[in-house]
Amino acid sequence: MIARPFGPTGASVPVIGQGTWNVPTRGAAADAAKAALRAGIERGMVHIDTAEMYGDGAAEELVGAAIAGLPRESLFIVSKVLPSNATAHGTIAACERSLRRMGLDYLDCYLLHWRGTVPLRETMHALERLVADGKIRALGVSNFDVDDLKEAHAVLEREPIACNQVLYHLNERTIEDHEIPYAREHDIATVAYTPFGRGAYERAAGYPALVEIAQRRGVTPAQIVLAFLTREPDTFAIPKAASIAHTDENAAAGDLQLEPAEIDAIDRAFPAGRRRGGLPSL
Ligand code: NAP
């Protein structure tokens, strides 16, 4: 699996990780999802993305069960604080709850899930306090546009922004003209969430071009999607999969490097377009 520096953290992180939003958290489906996560880790997808929001903490508990017994240093665990909890004290308390649910001493990166009404300065300073206390190794943000990133930079006193986790898929590429250039200039990792865009690429006019490339390479269109989104040296993707078949496929995409001609063909089939309005999010 191709790995690359995760922003300024010093960590080398595989390009494909694993999401946990809407992961089943009860019964046999939860057991299957846990097995899929564990299989994904064994195949190199050690970057696990979760959040206190997902299943009201149940997704974090599932992650805790999936990683139990694995060497901590081999994992890259990311969680997120809800904006409504992101006060000076609330951020610390939320992080401690997340750590408890996952049975961890520290998170590799902890993000503000999206901007709410708590002043950014308060949240960023709480995240810096968590780094100083050793509860998180790095801090990051999610759903931040360029102005938000600039504001975060202005209020942070000691720590860099490790990543910006944003909506990025073949039908939503406008971050390529906005947030990605800013992130590149400031050594911030860009993490693509919802990389399959709820299957929109399969219904798009450009789909046959994707199928053609996939067939030529002997892989699936989903794998080509992941390879395209992680084609640049500072982007990562965190698909969610609830089955080992999907997990296997996603992990194998982490070894796939597209040729310039293939990238051009996908670029033509799924043009980036111009942004209308603000940063797209789910
Ligand atoms: P996604 O990963 O784009 O799509 C998940 C869907 O794709 C599931 O139905 C899954 O099926 C299917 N799938 C997985 N691998 C596949 C493959 N190889 N071939 C075909 N289908 C495949 O959507 P997402 O869960 O919205 O986004 C991924 C992660 O990003 C989330 O889980 C979450 O961790 C994060 N996220 C963050 C934010 C934020 O605001 N920061 C927002 C949304 C998402 P199965 O489940 O049946 O395997």
For every residue of 133-201, DSSP letters joined together read TTSBS-EEEES--HHHHHHHHHH-SS--EEEEEEE-BTTB-GGGGTHHHHHHHTT-EEEEESTTGGGHH
**pLDDT single digits (tens) 175-207:** 999 999 999 999 999 999 999 999 999 999 999
Atom of ligand 1 nearest to the CA of 197: 3
**pLDDT single digits (tens) 117-171:** 999 999 999 999 999 999 999 999 999 999 999 999 999 999 999 999 999 999 9
Pocket probe mutation, ligand 1, options 82, 111, 198, 246, max atoms within 8 Å of Cβ: 246
Active site residue 54: yes
